[in-house]
Amino acid sequence: MNNWIIMPAVLPAFTAAFLLLTLRHRPQAQRIVSIVATALGLLVAIGLAVAASDGVPQAYRLGDWPAPFGIVLVLDRLSATLLVLTGLLALCVVLYASAGWDRRGQHFHTLLQFQLLGINGAFLTGDVFNLFVFFEVMLIASYGLMLHGGGPARLKAGFHYVAINLIASALFLIGVGLIYAVTGTLNMADLALKVPEVVPADQGLLKAGALLLFLVFATKAALVPLHWWLPATYAATSAPAAAIFMIMTKVGAYAILRVYGLVFGAEAGALALVAAPFVLPAAVVTLLLGTVGVVGSRSLRSLSAFAIVASMGTLLIALGLFDQAGVSAALYYIVHSSLAGAALFLLAGLVLEGRGATGDRLLPGPAMRGEVLVGGLFLLCAVAMVGLPPLSGFLGKVMILEAVRSSASWPWLWALILGSSLALTLGFVRAGSVLFWASGPASSETRRPLAILPLTAIVLLLALTGAWTGAAGPAMVWMDATARQSLDRASYVEAVLGPTNQRSAGLGE
Amino acid sequence: MEMLVASAIGLMTATGLFLILQGRSFPVIVGLTFLSYAVNAFLFAMGRLTVDRPPIITAGAAYTDPLPQALVLTAIVISFGMTALIVVLGLRGFLETGSDRTDLSLADAAEEHGPAPAGEDARRERDGAARA
């Protein structure tokens, strides 16, 4: 058993406790510890990705309890890829926040580490109830991060955010309850085996449970009509918090892939692909509404938030195919949209700070310090988000267009994706020209020099999207293998529950 | 017993949902509490309803499923903590904005046009306090 599998959860947990207990009043030391721990977490994630690259999923039995009874963590290519992505994103966010954002409230680094614990745990766990627990850890930390810095607008939006997530958690528990009541297990591998054998009388209950769970994941992934929380929350919170939340919508997409690609996947008998009829139509409307939101936004943060909604729509159109090409394109796009979205939110934070009273509203205001540099970075962020070459959004969209060819309605999907790209371009052009071209003379409040760390973080994120384009060949090979593995029920079940012949022998005893 | 438990859960869920849809933070919080009670009772029932049975397997004896009890415990801890958090959040929101309405219009107005004048709610609260 590879003990390193638990490290992505243990490391942030201990770091957070350490920060809270010993470094409460030493902000400089907090920053150093937080940066070092996040970098170590990234190294562990890369190590795990290397370990997962042989293509065999590995299970880690907590407390060494045998699989369907104890909780397992499962490391495969999919979870390893997302762990590395989380590590990269977290490192950039910690760097950005260390320039001063973390002092606007208390315990920023502690909350961020707890958030990483929840996210990493959710990516690793092989048990549905444990997934709920890690979701809650992630959400509790995100409530703190979302409110970091305070202010009336943030408190109001925070109340909504917490209330919506509490309702989603209640639905999650009801869904889990129904699934347990019918199958008697919550271990994902065991569920994958038991779901096809459920008697017809109970299939209705199980389907209700599965679809309730889908509602929860769709809320996290901001699928229409459950996306309303996202623009309000992301536009009201601070830039580093919004940037790390970028990975939280991806946790929703991951959970949809894991549960509806594997447990209720193609081999699940009467309940095969139970969520698939809903994902694609909802994703289409999500893309449409996100695009309309981008064109109609009145502030840069709200525009960025709607751009995220649109990117989730694009991503879930590909994921909703639940075939290898679709999942593979969606995974490539997940990496791209997390990096580009985070860069855009971090940049929106700089704009908000740099324009004095005008803030990030899309109105002509005083010129900000380093306008050319910030404007140039905005151009790159916009290019990445819209999906123009040379950054990875272009390749991501090409792959998604290629993947949807297998769908019967592909001409419509092509028209939608390409049309929305055009509208997104218009929205970003409008924002950029108002923010950086229509600016008046600099006023005294906009003369503050730009700090070096935030710029480093943004440049790093954009460089990563550039590198993701450069490495598209190997990345595509990796993602193809990842997609194949994530839809392969047999190898996952074997990793968790042992080979088939031993299982039947165990039952006979 | 099934009928009683099921209708109790249904009633609590309905009450919770009705209260959550109200426009002020206090009913929303109470509604969330109702919903979490309903969920806890539901989780208990998912291990089948049995009375006076130990949650331990002994040969030949009937038992009740111990797993839902562990799940309910986790769910109770989480929902209790979350209720405390949202109470504080509602309170802070009321103190900072002078209103316990849950819509975002006041906050939006403050962001778009500078600080908004104290809302009707705050005035009403103050009048109420003065009268008392």
The predicted-structure confidence for A394-431, as pLDDT tens digits, reads as follows: 999 999 999 999 888 899 999 999 999 999 999 999 99
**Which tokens in the block code for residue A215?**
């509602």
Most confident of A59-73, A99-113, A464-478: A464-478
Q: For A271-275, which contacts have Cβ atoms below 8 Å and span 24 or more sequence positions?
A: A271/A195, A271/A196, A271/A198, A271/A203, A271/A206, A271/A207, A271/A210, A273/A322, A274/A207, A274/A210, A274/A211, A274/A214, A275/A210, A275/A211, A275/A214
Residue A188 and residue A262: Cα distance in Å, rounded? Answer: 8
As a whole number, the mean pLDDT across chain B is 79
Task: Give percent above pLDDT 70 in chain A.
Answer: 97
Ordered DSSP codes for B4-58:
HHHHHHHHHHHHHHHHHTSSBHHHHHHHHHHHHHHHHHHHHHTT---SS--SS--
| Residues A157, B104: C-beta atoms closer than 8 Å | yes
pLDDT score, position B107? 46
A309 vs B2, which has greater pLDDT?
A309
Residue A63 has pLDDT above 70, yes or no: yes
**Chain A residues in contact with B111 (beta carbon < 8 A):** 153
Of all residues in chain A, the one with the smallest CA distance to B16 is: A167
pLDDT score, position A448? 66
Those residues with Cβ within 8 angstroms of residue A134's Cβ, 6 or more apart along the chain or in another chain: A117, A118, A119, A121, A122, A125
CA distance B130 to chain A (A): 25
Q: Average of pLDDT values for A246-259?
A: 94
Of B78, B90, B112, the CB nearest to A136: B78
Confidence of residue A447 (pLDDT cuts 50, 70, 90): low
Q: Which of A82, A2, A101 is nearest to A42 (CA)?
A: A82
pLDDT score, position A444? 63
Chosen from A138, A155, A363 to mutate, greatest number of chain B CBs within 10 A: A155
pLDDT score, position A439? 76
pLDDT score, position B123? 46
Range 6-45 of B in CB contact (< 8 A) with A? 20, 25, 28, 32, 35-36, 38-39, 42-43, 45
The answer to whether the CB of A176 falls within 8 A of the CB of B127 is: no
| Residues B82, A181: C-beta atoms closer than 8 Å | no
Confidence of residue B13 (pLDDT cuts 50, 70, 90): very high
| Residues A155, B82: C-beta atoms closer than 8 Å | no
Of B82, B90, B104, the CB nearest to A166: B82
Range 87-126 of B in CB contact (< 8 A) with A? 89-90, 92-93, 96-97, 102, 104, 106-108, 110-112
Maximal CA-CA distance, chain A: 83
**Chain A residues in contact with B79 (beta carbon < 8 A):** 166, 169-170
| Residues B71, A129: C-beta atoms closer than 8 Å | yes
B28 vs A359, which has greater pLDDT?
B28
Q: Which of A82, A61, A92, A70 is nearest to A138 (CA)?
A: A82
A212 touches chain B (CB under 8 A): no
A167 touches chain B (CB under 8 A): yes
**Chain B residues in contact with A301 (beta carbon < 8 A):** none
Chosen from B18, B39, B50 to mutate, greatest number of chain A CBs within 10 A: B39
**Chain B residues in contact with A180 (beta carbon < 8 A):** 46-47, 67-68, 71
pLDDT score, position B117? 41
CA distance B63 to chain A (A): 15
R_g over Cα of chain A? 22
